[in-house]
Amino acid sequence: MIQLKHLFKWYNVGSTRSFVLKDVSLNIEEGDFISIMGPSGSGKSTLLNIIGMLDEPDEGEYLFQGENVLELKPKKRTQLFQSHMGYVFQSYHLLDEMTVYENIETPLIYKNKSSSERKSIVSDLLDRFNIVGKKDLFPSQLSGGQQQIVGIARALAGSPSLLLADEPTGNLNSKQGEEIMELFQQLNTEGVTIIQVTHSDKNATYGKRTVHMLDGQLK
Amino acid sequence: MILNEIKISWRSLLKNKFFSLLNVFGLMLGFTGFILSYQYINRETSYDKWNPNYDRIYQVGLTSSEEFTDATNAMLAPLLKRSLPEIETAGRKIIYSFGTYPLFGENTVLIKNAAVIDSSAAHIFQIESKTGNLYKSKIQNEATLVKQDIAEKIFKKGDLNFDTPKSVPVLSLLLDQHERIYGISKNNGLSLIDHDLLFIKEPEDLFAGEIPFSYQTYIQVKPGTNIDVLARKIDKLYHDKIVPLSQTAALSQGKIYLDPLTNLHLRPKNGSNTPYLMLWIIGIVSIIILVLASANFANMIMAQADKRIKELALKKILGSSRWTIIRQLLLEVFILTLTAAVFSFFMLSITGNVLQKWFNDDLKQYILNEDTVMYLFLGVIGTTCLSGIYPAFVLSGFKSVSLLRGGLGKTQRKNTLRNGLLVFQIGIALLFMTGMLVIHEQIRYIQTTDKGFEPAQVITYKGLGMYYDGTLNGTYYNLKERLQQDPSILSVASATNMPGDGELPPKKQFSHNQKQLEFDHVGIDKSYFSTLNIAVLKGNIPTSIKQLLQDSTSHYAVINESAAMALDLGQPIGAKLAGCDVNFEIIAVVKDSKAYGFENVVKPTVYSYKNECGSARPQATLIVKAAQGKAAQAIETVKKEWQQNSSTKSLPLEYAFMDQQYVLLHKKQQEMQTAFNSFTFLAVIIAALGLFSMAAYQVTIRKKEMSVRKVLGASVQSIFMQLNKPFFRLFLTATLISLPLTYFILNRWLDNFAYRIDLQWWYFLIAIMIIFIIICVSISYQTIRAAKVNPVDSLRNE
């Protein structure tokens, strides 16, 4: 599904180059559940951002379902992202002036789905995550775990085939973290490809494959 | 979708209720101020514009050595009409200047602004009657009109048919004088010719022989006439035909000039151009305030948008197109500006009503019309674009990832624009504040400086002398002697002109030893100088009537300091001065009196006792100086005398206090003071608003930096100083730029006055201090709050 070939990314510090990613090549199949692990500064988040088309490598190729993503126009890229991917952030990044319902609804609006379609999809998700009673609350009224769940629901709203998660349990306690990881496993069983970046070994065990990174290189 | 966007916009506005309101308020002030000023200017420049021949009408005047006068010989107009083919018609006008003109109809009405024009002038100014043709038959030789409200007072209700003219007793019931009223004047629009009672008569019909008065002459020229050439032609004609007839008239050696009707209301050559300057100032200032308010608004929108960067980035990631985000931002701005416009409309209608009720000003109809709505609409669109476009495009173009991490690195560019705006605002506020102080000081100077005469306790009766015999020892003299005996009256005098009078004394030609000079002339009596406390500097003035009666061939003249300087005589006393067809002997020199305001230099003046210069100018004004605290009794005494005079007992007696009249001379300056104070207030508020929101923005941006500093050991005070530093720098820049400009502008304004204060350094200092304090207060609220924030709260979001 995803092919990364010899990705390089660097920052120019004075006259030297400081590499964030050094010759990273990776293949990801459909249905995979990959955990990218490594210490801070190893380039994990950057790699995830590149996969999620939020960032660009300075060198290298990125093929998504056979298409060379880096040669696509930005608009096409956003379309691609919208239809296939969902992103879960570590700090949830919910929209503060919108209710839970509206937050989950947002990606659907940008996909130009009709009002009734949106209603049905969102209520399904609310049901699934057992947060129906909270649909009119604002993010500031929810706990961290609940906000993360909303974030995940939002990421799933567009029925993505690929779910990207950047330290999804980083701000949660162990019990909430467990719930989230179990949810991921379940999604994976249903066919969603998941790539997660994590610090925790425990989280990594939920996945099928683990990839280690150190100083911008795969180990 | 749109509904969703509106919902979000509304919620984000509510979240920042306070700032949204501030935004709206500031913008509303800008809109309102601008529209008010604009419509005021519209009205003031619309005088006579409705006249189809507007651009072909000119006033004919005389000028000599920088002096201008509109007083021309009565025969000039008919001469021009018959001699010059380029002139379609030429008319004359003269204002009734002997106090109020009584009409004895169903009610007695005292007309304050009566005037006489001839039929040609009526034609030029499109004077029309509501009740039919102006001239109903060929033999009709006059066509006097009154205004509607006057007609309703003097005629019976329902009796307003003017097929035949109505005769009304006037001036004095005893003398059995009547005037015929031919109709009710039609109001075509604002005009130079605007009189409650308008006599339309030919001067030739009023006076047999030489006409003793000077008239204002107006001409209407054929299209395409070269005005300069015409002026020269008129000048030649004037000197060939008119000047030989009468040498003593004002500026008779001068040159003819033509003043277009377009200028006459605001800046007639023979008057002050203060109204014109005022319009310019109001116009420029209101534009500045509008720009300030919009810039402020844009600034605040940009600042607030920055706070929402995270939200915008997220939306982009979730798939929103850039255009959608732009639309969202523009929508929010639009809602705000629309609200401001609506509030502004309300404010305008309130102001219109206030103006109507308290100032009797009809600006209301100009304010609330379709033009205003259109301007507001344009303003809304304009401000939306101005404030919304920049943040909308710039912000939506940022890279999402860097935005999410909370980075705002690329904002440095915007700061120059914003800082520039703030410097501009502070500079303007400084200018206005200093201006306010200076204007206040100048007016105080006018009020408190020695005027050369003393107007306090002086009561004036304009036109009173008309009803008495004014010969040296006639009934007028007797009246004055009797009044003098009354204990409540200190002194009584009479004159042809008095200080504070709207009318200036006429200029006459005098010559001494072949030198020709133009002096003002005032006819006075023996008590004039003592009544007005004008100091006699050299020589002796006659103190009793005997002296004046003694020699009927002697003509005494008293001159003021300026006249003495113009004559340049070592010893002016005893010198001979020829003028008004007689030979004067100078017997005294008196102090200059700033009788006609501080704007003009005191004119050299000749005072004489026997009405030599114009028998048709009686010493109609009675001047009574009351004893301290006895003004009411003095007025009573005069009233009793008035009632004892058989020809006046049924007439109302009008009087005025000279000090109040004198103050009115500077009415325009006081109006300017009021207008300026309001603008200062506005500008300072807007500047403070701008600073307040700028401070809030800065605080948000630098929250993290301040928290880090605190952790490193900075005290609350030093954080406070850190946050305030950029503003102090802005203030310093603004001061440096604005000070020289302010000095220059205020100096120019003060130059309008012949007698003025000097610009003291402490005016500027006070203004700077006041603005500085206001600035400190505006920003301190934010910065103090920021300095006290617990660093933990702002450092945790990584």
Q: Which alpha helices (DSSP H) does B702-760 contain, by range? A: 703-711, 716-750
Give the gap in angstroms from C-alpha B699 to the nearest C-alpha of chain A.
21
Structure token digits, residue B372: 């205003």
Using the predicted structure, report yes or no on whether residue B62 has a pLDDT greater than 50.
yes
In a domain, A54, yes or no: no
Distance CA B379, CA B377 (A): 5
Regarding whether B601 and B718 lie in a shared domain, the answer is: no
CB B298 within 8 A of CB B340: no
Q: Break chain A down into helix, strand, coil percent, rounded to 5.
A: 40, 30, 30
In a domain, B745, yes or no: yes
Using the predicted structure, report yes or no on whether residue B409 has a pLDDT greater than 60.
no
CB B23 within 8 A of CB B679: no
Of A49, A81, A97, the CB nearest to B15: A97
Regarding whether B291 and B194 lie in a shared domain, the answer is: no
Regarding whether B300 and B193 lie in a shared domain, the answer is: no
Using the predicted structure, report yes or no on whether residue B463 has a pLDDT greater than 70.
yes
Distance CA B732, CA B427 (A): 10
- A26: contact with B, CB 8 A cutoff: no
Distance CA B16, CA B528 (A): 71
In angstroms, the Cα distances linking B74 to B77, B80, B549, B711 are 7, 11, 34, 90
Range of the domain at A143: 32-42+73-218
**Count of CB atoms situated within 10 Å of the CB of B364:** 18
In a domain, B766, yes or no: yes
- B404: contact with A, CB 8 A cutoff: yes
In a domain, A80, yes or no: yes
Structure token digits, residue B652: 């109302």
In a domain, A121, yes or no: yes
Using the predicted structure, report yes or no on whether residue B742 has a pLDDT greater than 60.
yes
Q: Do B318 and A106 touch (CB under 8 A)?
A: yes
Q: Do B318 and A97 touch (CB under 8 A)?
A: no
In the numeric block, the tokens 């450092």 are attached to B795
Structure token digits, residue B297: 């608004």
Distance CA B10, CA B329 (A): 11
CB A137 within 8 A of CB A146: no
Distance CA B709, CA B783 (A): 14
pLDDT > 70: what percent of chain A? 100
Across chain B, mean pLDDT equals 81
Span B746-795, pLDDT tens digits: 888 888 788 888 888 888 899 899 988 888 888 888 777 777 777 766 66
DSSP-derived pairing of the beta strands B183-184 and B145-146: parallel
- A190: contact with B, CB 8 A cutoff: no
Regarding whether B542 and B679 lie in a shared domain, the answer is: no
User: How many structural domains does chain B have?
Assistant: 3
- B321: contact with A, CB 8 A cutoff: yes
User: How many structural domains does chain A have?
Assistant: 1
CB B657 within 8 A of CB B643: no
Which candidate, B281, B300, B282, places its Cα nearest to that of B425?
B300
Q: pLDDT value at position B769?
A: 92
Q: Which of B643, B665, B687 is the last residue of a domain?
A: B665
Which candidate, B97, B104, B112, places its Cα nearest to that of B176?
B104
**Average pLDDT value for residue range A101-107:** 87
Model confidence at A86, pLDDT cuts 50, 70, 90, reads confident
Which candidate, B246, B276, B242, B247, places its Cα nearest to that of B259?
B276
**Count of CB atoms situated within 10 Å of the CB of B606:** 25
Distance CA A116, CA A138 (A): 22
Q: Do A55 and B401 touch (CB under 8 A)?
A: yes
Q: pLDDT value at position B247?
A: 57
In the numeric block, the tokens 């255009």 are attached to B323
Distance CA A71, CA A63 (A): 10
Model confidence at B259, pLDDT cuts 50, 70, 90, reads very high
Q: pLDDT value at position B56?
A: 92
Regarding whether B115 and B7 lie in a shared domain, the answer is: no
DSSP-derived pairing of the beta strands B582-590 and B556-560: parallel
In a domain, A67, yes or no: no
Q: Do A78 and B400 touch (CB under 8 A)?
A: no
- B8: contact with A, CB 8 A cutoff: yes
Regarding whether B284 and B423 lie in a shared domain, the answer is: yes
**Average pLDDT value for residue range B246-263:** 76
Q: pLDDT value at position B412?
A: 47
Using the predicted structure, report yes or no on whether residue A18 has a pLDDT greater than 90.
no
Distance CA A128, CA A148 (A): 14
In angstroms, the Cα distances linking A203 to A93, A167, A170, B499 are 21, 10, 10, 99
Regarding whether B586 and B534 lie in a shared domain, the answer is: yes
Q: Which alpha helices (DSSP H) does B525-606 contain, by range? A: 528-531, 545-550, 561-567
- B11: contact with A, CB 8 A cutoff: yes
DSSP-derived pairing of the beta strands B536-539 and B582-590: antiparallel
Size of interface A-B (CB pairs under 8 A): 42
Q: Which of B665, B688, B719 is the last residue of a domain?
A: B665
- A111: contact with B, CB 8 A cutoff: yes
Model confidence at B737, pLDDT cuts 50, 70, 90, reads very high
Range of the domain at B491: 458-665
In the numeric block, the tokens 């617990």 are attached to B790
Of A87, A97, A111, the CB nearest to B317: A87
Regarding whether B391 and B293 lie in a shared domain, the answer is: yes
Q: pLDDT value at position B449?
A: 83
Of A95, A102, A111, the CB nearest to B314: A95
Span B527-541, pLDDT tens digits: 888 888 888 888 888
In a domain, A83, yes or no: yes
Regarding whether B309 and B352 lie in a shared domain, the answer is: yes
**DSSP labels, B284-304:** HHHHHHHHHHHHHHHHHHHHH
DSSP-derived pairing of the beta strands B621-626 and B489-495: antiparallel
In the numeric block, the tokens 């009675």 are attached to B622
Which candidate, B506, B13, B18, B553, places its Cα nearest to that of B248?
B506
In a domain, B9, yes or no: yes
- A216: contact with B, CB 8 A cutoff: no
In a domain, A86, yes or no: yes
- A81: contact with B, CB 8 A cutoff: yes
- A214: contact with B, CB 8 A cutoff: no
CB A20 within 8 A of CB A46: yes
**Average pLDDT value for residue range B330-357:** 84
Nearest CA in chain B to A114: B1
Structure token digits, residue A6: 């010899």
Which candidate, B592, B595, B613, places its Cα nearest to that of B604?
B592
Residue B341, C-beta contacts closer than 8 angstroms, at least 6 positions apart? B28, B31, B376, B377, B379, B380
Using the predicted structure, report yes or no on whether residue B547 has a pLDDT greater than 80.
no
Regarding whether B701 and B660 lie in a shared domain, the answer is: no
Q: pLDDT value at position B572?
A: 83
The least confident of A115-124, B601-610, B661-670 is: B661-670
Span B595-629, pLDDT tens digits: 877 777 888 889 988 877 766 677 888 888 988 88
pLDDT > 90: what percent of chain B? 7
Model confidence at B410, pLDDT cuts 50, 70, 90, reads very low
- Beta bridge partners, A2, equal A28, A64
Per DSSP, the three-state class of A195 is: strand
**Count of CB atoms situated within 10 Å of the CB of B414:** 17
CATH of the domain at A114: 3.40.50.300
Distance CA B514, CA A82 (A): 103
Q: Which alpha helices (DSSP H) does B523-595 contain, by range? A: 528-531, 545-550, 561-567
Chain A hits for B321, Cβ within 8 Å: 75, 78, 110
Element (H, E) at B23: helix B17-44
Q: Do B315 and A106 touch (CB under 8 A)?
A: yes
In a domain, B52, yes or no: no
Q: Do B318 and A107 touch (CB under 8 A)?
A: yes
Model confidence at B91, pLDDT cuts 50, 70, 90, reads very high
Distance CA B257, CA B290 (A): 40
Regarding whether B287 and B242 lie in a shared domain, the answer is: no
Model confidence at B92, pLDDT cuts 50, 70, 90, reads very high
Using the predicted structure, report yes or no on whether residue B663 has a pLDDT greater than 80.
no
Distance CA A8, CA A47 (A): 10
B399: exposed, middle or buried (Cβ count in 10 Å: 0-12, 13-18, 19+):
middle
In a domain, B53, yes or no: no
Span B157-169, pLDDT tens digits: 887 788 888 888 8
Residue B386, C-beta contacts closer than 8 angstroms, at least 6 positions apart? B294, B298
**Average pLDDT value for residue range A115-126:** 91
In a domain, B95, yes or no: yes
In a domain, A13, yes or no: no
Which candidate, B317, B337, B316, B334, places its Cα nearest to that of B325?
B316
**Count of CB atoms situated within 10 Å of the CB of B178:** 13
Q: pLDDT value at position A122?
A: 92
Span B681-706, pLDDT tens digits: 888 888 887 788 777 777 777 777 77
Q: pLDDT value at position B252?
A: 64
Q: Which residue type, as a one-letter code, is found at position B2?
A: I
Of B12, B15, B319, the CB nearest to A110: B319
Structure token digits, residue A83: 């239809």
Chain A hits for B324, Cβ within 8 Å: 110
The least confident of B134-143, B230-239, B454-463 is: B134-143
Q: pLDDT value at position B798?
A: 43
Span A137-180, pLDDT tens digits: 998 898 888 888 898 888 888 888 899 998 888 777 888 888 88
Distance CA B262, CA B49 (A): 8
Using the predicted structure, report yes or no on whether residue B293 has a pLDDT greater than 90.
no
Using the predicted structure, report yes or no on whether residue B411 has a pLDDT greater than 60.
no
- A102: contact with B, CB 8 A cutoff: yes
Q: Do A93 and B400 touch (CB under 8 A)?
A: no
Distance CA B256, CA B62 (A): 5
CB A37 within 8 A of CB A166: no
Task: Give long-range contacts, CB 8 A cutoff, 24+ apart: B410-414.
Answer: B411/B306, B411/B701, B414/B302
Q: Which of B665, B699, B725 is the last residue of a domain?
A: B665
In a domain, A105, yes or no: yes
Structure token digits, residue B53: 């021949």
Across chain A, mean pLDDT equals 85
Using the predicted structure, report yes or no on whether residue A3 has a pLDDT greater than 70.
yes
* Cα diameter, chain B: 110
Distance CA B419, CA B367 (A): 35
Higher pLDDT, B718 or A63: A63
Regarding whether B211 and B186 lie in a shared domain, the answer is: yes
Residue B385, C-beta contacts closer than 8 angstroms, at least 6 positions apart? none
- B315: contact with A, CB 8 A cutoff: yes
In a domain, B220, yes or no: yes
Nearest CA in chain B to A83: B319
The least confident of A84-88, A183-187, A193-197, B244-248 is: B244-248
The least confident of A39-43, B256-260, B367-371 is: B367-371
Using the predicted structure, report yes or no on whether residue B797 has a pLDDT greater than 80.
no
Q: At what angle do helices A100-110 and A144-157 cross, to 10 degrees?
A: 20
Mutate: best of B312, B318, B323, B328, partner A, most A CBs <10 A: B318
Distance CA B77, CA B92 (A): 7
